[in-house]
A and B are shown apart, each in its own frame.
Chain A
C-alpha cells in the first residue's frame, strides 16, 4: 500500500453526519436549559464531520496497516502474544453482564459469581491465599502488591526502606516499587542468569522490605534458588514478591505459593489469553499469602449462604481502581480457564516450553546465547558476533510478515532478541520463522545493506524517532491555507 489513509480531520466536511439517534422531544425546548451562559460551550470548530461509510472505510484501512496476533506470528518476548479465543469475546459481550457498578448487590449476583469463581481458580493455580482482581494491568498489580507489603510491614512497626530488584527485571518493577515509597537497589544475576543465595545475602540488610523477583525471569529461566531465597528473606523479616507476568511458563506445573512467594501478580492479558488491545486494557490480579489477605484493596468479593457480597476491609491498603477493576477482561480470563480445564491447564506451559526450546535448538548454532541455562517459555539471543544489529534483524523480519521479537530487553543481554512463541503456534509456523531467521542471518553476511535499510515492504519504512521527539507534533492542527 503506497498511500496512508488521510487523517480524519482532512476528510471531514461541514454538514456530514455519521450517526442517527432519536431527536430531542419537541416539548423539550431551549428555554429549559438550566446552565448559565458562562458554563455553556459555543463551538467545536474543527471537530470532525463524516458520513458513516467514510468512518467505516477510514478505520478499515487503518486496520489493514496493523500486524496482529490474528494476522500473523507475533513472538514478542515477555508479552505472551498467544491466540485470543473468540468465544471469550462472545461471552464478554453478553448484554446481561454489562451492569452498572453501583447496582444493588442483589441485582448483580451473576457478576459477583464470575469474579469469585475466577478468584478461586487463580488461588488454586498459584497456591496463594487470596486475590484482588482490581488492578488494571501488570504494573498496577505490582504497585498494589508493593503497597500490601508496605502495609504489612508498617503495621508491624516499620515499613523499611529498600526493595531489591534483579538487573534482569522489567522496568515496571523499579517504577512500581518507587511509587510505593521505596528506594531501589539493583542486584546482579549470576553467570547462569539467575539470582544466587550468596549474592542476595550480601544485599540483605535489615532495611530490606522485599525482593521483587520475576519467575521465570525475563531470560526465560526458572529461578531455581527461589525457595532458599524465600527462606533467607523471611528470616530477615523481608517478603518475596513474584512478578508472575510469565506464569504461562509453569501454569499447572508448580504453584508459586509452594515456593515461598508472599505476593504475586498475574497478567490476564498474557497468561490468560485476553486480547492486548494495542496496549491494553489488561488486568493484573494480585495474589497474596493467607496472612496478607487482610491487606487486600477494596472491594473484596465474598460468598456466604445468602449469596455474594462486596466486602470492605479496614486493614486493607484502600482503593487502587474504580469500581471492581476491568471486569470484562476477567470474564474472558474465566472463560479461557474453563475451556482449558484441569485436562489442559498444564499443556499451556508444556507446549509453550516445547516451542521455545524448538526455536532455541534450531537457532543456537547461528545466534549467540549469552545464558545457556534451561529455557522455559522464551529464549533470549544476543547480537554478539554478528555484523548487524538486533534492530536490523527485527526490521528485516517485518518484510516477511513476521512481527519481531522483543528487542534490547532484558538489559543484561547485549542486543537482546527475546523470542516467545507461546503454545498457540504450530510447528509449521515455527519452521517458517526459523527458516526466515536463518535466511536473514545469511543475508547479513552477503548483503548487510538489505538489513540495515529494512523494512522494504511495509506501509511506511524506518521512522525517524529522533525527529518525532525533537519536533513534537502530538495533535493535528488546522493549516492556514485550508
Chain B
C-alpha cells in the first residue's frame, strides 16, 4: 500500500498536522500495523520535496509534529492519478484496494469507477491466463487455474464491496 498517496488523500479532505494525520491513518487503515512517527515525517518530507504538499503554518515550539501540512495542486493531481490507475492484479491487493475506495469516498469521487477499472484490469489478466490454459497442457492448466481462482477471489470481494458502497460511505464519512 502506498503510504504517501494515502496521506495525500487524507490531506485532500483538509490541512492537518503530522500527528493528526498519523492518528487518522491508524484509525482508518492501521488496524494491524500503525504507522511509526518516523514513517510519517519521512513521507511528509518526501511529499514536501516533490511539491505535493506545503507547510501551511508552524505552531510555536520545537519538532516536526508542529507543522501543519496542506495539499498542493500537484498533490491533488497525484491523488487523482493514483486513484484512476488500476493496481497490477496480484494476490493480496485487499489493503490497497480498500484504501483507494475509502479515499475516493472521503474525497467525493466515484468509488464504483475504481472498482470497475480494477475489474477490467483483472479480467484482462484472467483472459490471458484462460487463453494460456486452453492452449496448454495439464500442468499449464493447473498453474493458470491457481492464479485464476486467486484473481477471482479478489474480484468477488470487489463485487461485494461495490454492493455495500452505500453502507461503507456512511461508515467512512462519519468515522
| B is a partner of A | no
What residues make up the interface of A, taking CB atoms closer than 8 Å to B?
Answer: none
What residues make up the interface of B, taking CB atoms closer than 8 Å to A?
Answer: none
